[in-house]
Amino acid sequence: MPERSEVNPAQAAQAKTRIEAMKRQFEQKRSINEILSKVNCKIGVYSGKGGVGKTTVAVNLASTLAYEGSKVGILDVDVDCPNVVNVMKISEPPVIGPDKKMIPPERFGIKVMSMGFFQQNEEEAIIWRGPMIHNAINQFLQSTQWGELDYLIIDLPPGTSDAPLSIMQAIDMDGFIVVTTPQDLAKIDAKRSINMIKKLKVNVMGVVENFSGDIFGMGAGEELAKEVGVEFLGNLSLSSNYRDTSKPTVLLNNDTLKEYQFIGSKIKKILN
């Protein structure tokens, strides 16, 4: 009879650790999706490069959808540099409900949740390693009670590492909007982020080109969309309208509102 091979204790311990981690991940995802069960559409706003205007796009898109009558929330998961609180001019922190979950405050008809609420000094850097970022995002997702929403817009940090990966693994997303600018470097980084989304089997809803116009040019967003085989959602002009920061720009200027309504109409068509 063949001899039974002995199990290496170290390998057995590693296997047990992996199984336990998979169980925890499964339970976390189940819990998060249960909490988000009343959210109809979950849309990420993302790019591989910082400074392309993801937060501006996320806030103005959310404001446009709310202006048109939808129930909307924004989740800011940029742990390092959470800016949605400042852009939305919101100071009221979330309150704790009877179920011990955080209830997001509202501004301009939009529910808002951000790490910015929990910073004692917004000028201090948050210096966290990957596992801490992952755990913070999961805790954030499991502790927030959004209620009924038509759209949850998720403002992601740039890059292809821990924070976007945590969101893509934790939530059943309806899709991602990838933001680029007309410059070649931004286009390259946006392509990297699209490739990451596709590797994780998540839907890319389309590409938005921000800062379009005479100064930086235009066309990179449409070129990128053709190259990777996704929808081009539209251009957003580099405009002085954004200087007034008292409200999201779409609530102050009709030209900007029309640009976002065009993008919103394409998103709705894709979702339907």
Q: Are 42 and 154 in contact (CB under 8 A)?
A: yes
Per-residue pLDDT, 64:
98
- Is-contact 77 163, C-beta < 8 A? yes
Report pLDDT for 2. Answer: 55
Helix (H, G, I), strand (E, B) or coil at 110: strand
Concatenating the DSSP letter of every residue in 74-106 gives: EEE--SSS--HHHHTT--PPPEE-TTSPEEPPE
* Res 105: pLDDT: 96
Q: What residues contact 148, with CB distance under 8 A and at least 6 apart?
A: 38, 39, 71
What is the reported pLDDT for 126?
A: 64
| Residues facing residue 155 across a β-bridge | 45, 76
Predicted pLDDT of residue 230: 96
Per-residue confidence (pLDDT) for residue 240, from 0 to 100: 94
Please check whether residue 78 is in contact with residue 49, taking contact to mean a CB–CB distance below 8 angstroms.
Answer: no
Q: Structure tokens of 8?
A: 């290496």
Pairing relation of β-strands 110-114 and 106-107?
A: antiparallel
For residue 107, give its domain range. 9-271
pLDDT at position 153, please?
A: 97
DSSP 203: -
Which domain CATH number covers 32?
A: 3.40.50.300
Q: Could you tell me where the beta strands, DSSP code E, fall in 115-263?
A: 149-155, 175-180, 204-212, 232-237
Residue 52 lies in a domain: yes
- Longest pairwise C-alpha distance within the chain: 83
| 3 within some domain | no
Instruction: Tell me how far apart the alpha carbons of residues 65 and 74 are, in angstroms, rounded to a whole number.
Output: 11
Position 107 scores a pLDDT of 95
Q: In whole angstroms, how far apart are CA 258 and each of 183, 229, 232, 250?
A: 24, 26, 16, 8
| Residue 30 exposure: Cα atoms within 13 Å on the Cβ side | 6
Under DSSP, the state recorded for 207 is: E
Residue at 83: amino acid letter: N
112: nearest Cα among 94, 137, 135, 98: 94
Residue 193 near residue 205, CB atoms below 8 Å: no
Q: Give the per-residue pLDDT at 103.
A: 95
Give a yes or no: residue 228 inside a domain: yes
Instruction: Extract the tokens encoding 84.
Output: 């949605």
For residue 123, the model assigns a pLDDT of 62
In a domain, 67, yes or no: yes
Residue reference for tokens 């009709």: 254
Report yes or no on 4 lying in a domain: no
State how many domains the chain has.
Answer: 1
Under-50 pLDDT residues of the chain: none
